[in-house]
Every structure is written in C-alpha cells, then in structure tokens.
Amino acid sequence: MTPWSRTNTVSEPFKSLTFADLSFSYGDGDDKVPAIHDISLTVEAGEFVTIVGPSGCGKSTLFNLASGLVGATQGALLVNGRELEGVNPYTAYMFQRDALLDWRSVVSNATLGREFLGDKKRKVAAEVEASLAEFGLEGFQDRRPYELSGGMRQRVALMRTYTTERPLLLLDEPFGALDALTRLRMQEFLLRRWDADHRTVIFITHDVDEALLLGDRVIVLSDRPATISEEIPLTFPRPRLIEDLMVDPTYIDIRSRVMLMLHSPASRIEETA
C-alpha cells in the first residue's frame, strides 16, 4: 500500500470519484437557486484533472460535494463506485486564500491537518521538518505566516494539504491570488511535487493556461448553473514547460477553443442584455 492512501477511517485505497448525473441547488422551494446542473464526471486515482469555468459558476460547490460536506440535490456522488455517505475520507482541500493560522509557525501550520485527523502534533512535526526542503521552506520552520511572501505561504498551505496523506487533493484556485511570475513558479513546483507520487488532483482555476499546463484533461464548465460544456484530454508529454507549450499548435488550438467557450459571443450578448 502506498503511503498516501493512509486514511484513518478506511482501509481500502482510493480508486475513483464519480459525479453521477449530479445536480445541486441552494435553498428550498421557490427560493431555490440551482448551482450545478446534471454533471457526470469520473476521476480515476492518479489523475490530474483541471476544471475551468467563469468565476462564480459554482466550481467551489463542486468541491464541497466531492468532500461530502454538502449532499447532492439530485443524482449521487460515488467513491470507489459506491455512494458516499457522510464526509469523504479521501479528500483534502487547499484554497486560494491560504488560511494559515497566524499564531502557528510554518511547521505547526503544516501539522494542522494531521492534528484534525487525530495525530499527535509532536509526531507529525518531525515528519514535516523532514519535508521542509522538498517544499522550499528549509530554514523557515519557525517563521510565522505574516513573515512569509505569498508564494511561500502557498507552499506552506500545499505542504499542509500534502501532509494529511489524503490521496485525493481538492485544490481550489490555489495560485489565484499570486502574481504571474510567482504563480508560474508554483505551477512548476506543483508539477514536480505531483510527479513524485501522482496523487489524484482536482484543480479548479479560472486561468486557462494554468488548466492546460497542469492537467491530464480539462473540464470546461458553463456559467451558472454549472454544467460540463466540454472535456478535453491534454496529451502533452510530461514534464511540461510553459515555453514549449506556448509554441505548440495543439496547445494554441485548445487554448482558443476553451477561451471561446468561456467567453462566447452568446454569453457576451447575455451579459449586455
């Protein structure tokens, strides 16, 4: 058994996550606001799936369904082929806002997830200290979040998510608040980290280039209520470099297709109407 399939509550390794004809609405009755409409999607273990969509289209709701924090209004969420009951024991989140705790050092922030899982802080701290270099944080173990730059904070947040050893990572626009250069570094860093153990990643972004650079396939969502407009496999060889992709005709073609889907003439007319 690979080390990251350790999950505290289940012994079975993670195999797949399926949204089966899943819809979700906020509220009841007349106040019902549909957020997600009839999404069907399967993510297999070891895949890196990116999801792009217009902002506010319900992408984050998709994650709350995947983690089992909210239940589907219609359809079902399947884990390893069976309907999920309660909280998904395989998932760990990471957010755009790093949500680091100011009173904790870098190491203590990274141990937080495992403390939530019931591990003793001291035990996990040794583990985290050993992987500081891997996340480019050696020498910074005792720093507080407010002493770190945006990129470093996101690396701490990523380390915290990785340290949970959960096999399915839900990354919700994790680099969305970073400047363009730092974001590029973080994308390359994430790719390298992902290459080390190929944990399953679902990565939400509104940045088309980011989606195409990182994913094995990209899911394009429509405006609210979110439906899947298209699913495009990304077969560029790994390891990938942004400078290679930028001149790749297939990449350019996919990029403009996705851009058009997100910002179609129809959606423009709708907005002005």
Partner 1 sequence: MISLAEDDRIEEKGPQVASGRAKKRKRRLPFFLRSTFLAPTAVLLFLLGIWIALSEGGVVSDLTLPSPFAVAQSLVDDWSIYWTNAKVTLLEIIIGMSIGIVLGVALGVAIALQDTLRTALYPLVIGSQSLPILALAPILVIWLGFGLAPRIVIVVQIVFFPVTIATIQGLTSVGSEVLVFGRSLGASAWKLFWKVRVPAMLPYFFGGLKIASSYAAVAAVIAEWTGASEGLGALMLRANNDYNTVVVFGSVFWVTMIGLVAFSLAALAERKLAPWHTDSKTR
- Closest CB to partner 1 among residues 67, 200: 67
User: Among the candidate windows 31-39, 76-84, 90-98, 223-231, which touches partner 1 by CB under 8 A?
Assistant: 90-98
* Whole-Å CA distances, 61 to 57, 78, 257: 9, 16, 25
Q: What is the CB neighbour count within 10 angstroms for residue 209?
A: 20
Q: If you ran DSSP here, which 8-state letter would residue 226 be given? A: B
Q: Does the protein bind partner 1 through residue 21 (CB under 8 A)?
A: no
Nearest approach, Cβ of 256 to partner 1 (angstroms)? 25
Site for partner 1 in 134-163 (CB under 8 A): 136, 139, 144, 146-149, 151-152, 155
Q: Does the protein bind partner 1 through residue 88 (CB under 8 A)?
A: yes
Q: Does the protein bind partner 1 through residue 27 (CB under 8 A)?
A: no
Q: Which residue's entry shows tokens 């480019």?
A: 136
- Closest CB to partner 1 among residues 117, 228: 117
Q: Does the protein bind partner 1 through residue 192 (CB under 8 A)?
A: yes
Q: Does the protein bind partner 1 through residue 99 (CB under 8 A)?
A: yes
Nearest approach, Cβ of 227 to partner 1 (angstroms)? 24
Q: Does the protein bind partner 1 through residue 85 (CB under 8 A)?
A: no
Q: Sort 269 into a burial class: Cβ within 10 Å, 0-12 / 13-18 / 19+.
A: exposed
User: Among the candidate windows 33-41, 71-79, 87-95, 253-261, which touches partner 1 by CB under 8 A?
Assistant: 87-95
- Closest CB to partner 1 among residues 168, 221: 168
Backbone angles phi, psi at 53, to 5 degrees: -170, 160
**Rounded to 5 degrees, what angle do the CA atoms 47, 51, 55 make?**
160
- Closest CB to partner 1 among residues 17, 112: 112
**Maximum Cα–Cα distance across the chain:** 59
Q: Does the protein bind partner 1 through residue 93 (CB under 8 A)?
A: yes
Q: Does the protein bind partner 1 through residue 9 (CB under 8 A)?
A: yes
Residue 233, both tokens: 């496999």
Element (H, E) at 216: none
Q: Does the protein bind partner 1 through residue 215 (CB under 8 A)?
A: no
End-to-end CA distance of the chain: 56
Q: If you ran DSSP here, which 8-state letter would residue 272 be given? A: H
**Helices 106-116 and 121-130: angle between axes, nearest 10 degrees:** 130
Q: Does the protein bind partner 1 through residue 174 (CB under 8 A)?
A: no
When binding is defined by CB under 8 A, the residue of 16, 73, 80, 182 that contacts partner 1 is 182
Contact (CB, 8 A) for 224 and 58:
yes
* Whole-Å CA distances, 213 to 204, 208, 265: 13, 9, 26
Question: Can you give the binding site for partner 1, defined by CB under 8 A?
Answer: 8-9, 64, 67-69, 87-89, 91-95, 97, 99, 101-103, 112-113, 115-117, 136, 139, 144, 146-149, 151-152, 155, 164, 166, 170, 182, 185, 188-189, 191-192, 239, 241
